[in-house]
């Protein structure tokens, strides 16, 4: 009765089962996996955000496949403020970056073909690929004393005759690592040689820890190969519930024109972006600096506390990060990362994600969010580190 692409494993993993049992029993859980800003008690989340949704024109349906010109113009100007010049027609609106990936997979790949994605990374690509009858091949991110870097040989080796594109997550989630200029140069050479498109996921781009002259700029400014740069208000404005994202398409003129024509039909087929959110975007963009400052302040305060506390505990290390709102901790290998996560949850009522959720290649890592309110975050970290010390 069902398509094979939905033959997923539906059984609950031990960590989720434990969490559900504790919640059912009324336990208060400190959630260090919380990455939804609307549940993290930020001041910008107030009723005033809803007022622009009452725009009078919202009662009229006037579908435009690429999105309202006014909304695309705002995004065009936002890129221009970062010294990236785009034509308004190169910007296409979607309801989410997940939908943007789906449209791009439909544009670029036939069933059975493949796309390259980083490992570790967010556990989304395999589901999106499976739903679109294509496959994901991984290239590795490696960690050394200098931080995270792309393993270019592993990327080159992963390219096969059926490969059609490379996904770059810039900065990556959860490692927080940006693509470096030297890495990008080599990747562009590979893409040009093999006629591959590039998808640059830049949803966390505006949350760097610090400036870095070695870091690549946004790929929305690159035109050497066909490139699709993704962004959205889920992270840019901390409003995931409002469902608006975009693609900025760039590349050699002829293939770019063909891509835009084909995407226009795909977008027109779905018409998924709702008008009220597009109309409200101009008002929300006025709050962009304020919203990002509040989120950045929270991230920085929590990261500073975490760095200080971890430095006094021998059996745990905090991996360097360059951006985003996650932190990765490396723990002793005397337990598996799932056992660590279960112990934190059962004994200390602190919920974290084990590294294998993000496809880390080795043990033992846990991933935590830097978004939770400071008081809850600090209490959670103290419990984690105390538990770690008792296990060494």
Determine what percent of the chain is predicted with pLDDT higher than 90. 96
What is the average pLDDT score of the chain? 96
Please name the residues in contact with 275: beta carbons below 8 A apart, sequence gap of 6 or more. 57, 58, 61, 62, 68
- pLDDT beyond 90 at 391: no
Contact indicator for 112, 134 with CB cutoff of 8 Å: yes
Tell which wins on pLDDT, 105 or 10. Answer: 105
What crossing angle do the helices spanning 374-390 and 337-348 adopt, rounded to 10°?
Answer: 120
- pLDDT beyond 80 at 392: no
Instruction: Note if the pTM is more than 0.85.
Output: yes
pLDDT digits (tens, 9 = 90+) for 242-297: 999 999 999 999 999 999 999 999 999 999 999 999 999 999 999 999 999 999 99
93 vs 120: CA distance, rounded Å: 28
Using the Cα atoms of residue 327, residue 333, residue 336 and residue 342 in order, give the sign of their dihedral.
negative
In this prediction, residue 46 has a pLDDT band, given cuts at 50, 70 and 90, of very high
In this prediction, residue 368 has a pLDDT band, given cuts at 50, 70 and 90, of very high
Task: Sheet with 227-232: list strands edge to edge.
Answer: 91-94, 245-250, 227-232, 197-201, 163-169, 114-119, 135-144, 147-150
Structure tokens at 358: 């993000």
pLDDT digits (tens, 9 = 90+) for 93-122: 999 999 999 999 999 999 999 999 999 999
Count, in order, helices (H) and strands (E) of the chain: 12, 14
Query: C-alpha angle 371/230/45, rounded to 5°?
Result: 35
Please name the residues in contact with 375: beta carbons below 8 A apart, sequence gap of 6 or more. none
Determine what percent of the chain is predicted with pLDDT higher than 70. 100
Burial letters 39-74, b for 16+ CB under 10 A, else e = ebebebbeeebeebeeeeebeeeeebbbbbeebbeb
pLDDT digits (tens, 9 = 90+) for 156-185: 999 999 999 999 999 999 999 999 999 999
Q: Residue 121: which of 105, 144, 103, 138 has the closest Cα?
A: 138
Q: Residue 100: which of 255, 253, 270 has the closest Cα?
A: 270
- pLDDT beyond 90 at 378: yes
pLDDT at position 266: 98
pLDDT at position 9: 87
Q: What domains lie within the chain, and their CATH numbers?
A: 13-44+289-390 (3.90.1150.10), 62-285 (3.40.640.10)
In this prediction, residue 145 has a pLDDT band, given cuts at 50, 70 and 90, of confident
pLDDT at position 53: 96
In this prediction, residue 146 has a pLDDT band, given cuts at 50, 70 and 90, of confident
Bridge partners (DSSP) listed for residue 180: 215
């Amino acid at each position: 009765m069902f398509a094979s692409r939905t033959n997923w494993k539906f059984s609950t993993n031990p960590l989720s089962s434990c969490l559900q049992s504790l919640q059912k029993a009324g336990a208060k859980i400190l959630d260090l996996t919380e990455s939804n800003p609307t549940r993290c008690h930020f001041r910008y989340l107030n009723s005033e955000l809803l007022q622009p949704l009452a725009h009078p024109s919202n009662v009229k349906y006037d579908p435009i496949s690429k999105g309202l010109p006014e909304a695309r113009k705002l995004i065009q100007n936002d890129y221009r403020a970062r010294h990236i010049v785009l034509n308004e027609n190169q910007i296409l609106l979607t309801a989410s970056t997940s939908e943007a990936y789906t449209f791009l997979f439909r544009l670029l790949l036939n069933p059975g073909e493949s796309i390259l994605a980083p490992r570790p990374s967010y556990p989304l690509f395999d589901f999106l690929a499976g739903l679109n009858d294509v496959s994901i091949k991984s290239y590795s991110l490696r960690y050394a004393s200098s931080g995270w870097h792309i393993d270019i040989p592993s990327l080159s080796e992963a390219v096969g005759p059926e490969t059609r594109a490379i996904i770059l997550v810039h900065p990556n989630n959860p490692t927080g690592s940006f693509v470096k200029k030297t890495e990008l140069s080599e990747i562009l050479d590979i893409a040009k040689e093999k006629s591959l498109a590039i998808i640059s996921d830049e949803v966390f781009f505006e949350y760097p820890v610090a400036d870095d002259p070695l870091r690549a700029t946004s790929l929305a400014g690159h035109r050497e190969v066909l490139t699709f740069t993704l962004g959205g208000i889920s992270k840019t404005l901390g409003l995931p519930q409002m469902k608006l994202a975009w693609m900025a398409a760039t590349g050699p003129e002829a293939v770019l024109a063909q891509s835009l024509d084909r995407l226009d039909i795909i977008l027109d087929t779905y018409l998924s972006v709702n008008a009220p959110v597009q109309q409200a975007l101009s008002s929300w963009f006025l709050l962009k600096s304020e919203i990002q400052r509040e989120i950045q302040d929270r991230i920085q305060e929590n990261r500073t506390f975490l760095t200080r506390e971890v430095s006094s505990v021998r059996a745990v290390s905090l991996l360097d990060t360059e951006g985003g709102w996650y932190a990765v901790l490396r723990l002793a290998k005397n337990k598996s990362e799932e056992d660590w996560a279960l112990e934190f949850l059962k004994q200390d009522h602190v919920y974290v994600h084990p590294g294998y959720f993000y496809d880390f290649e080795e043990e033992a890592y846990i991933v935590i969010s830097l978004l939770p309110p400071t008081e809850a975050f600090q209490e959670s970290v103290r419990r984690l580190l105390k538990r770690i010390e008792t296990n060494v």
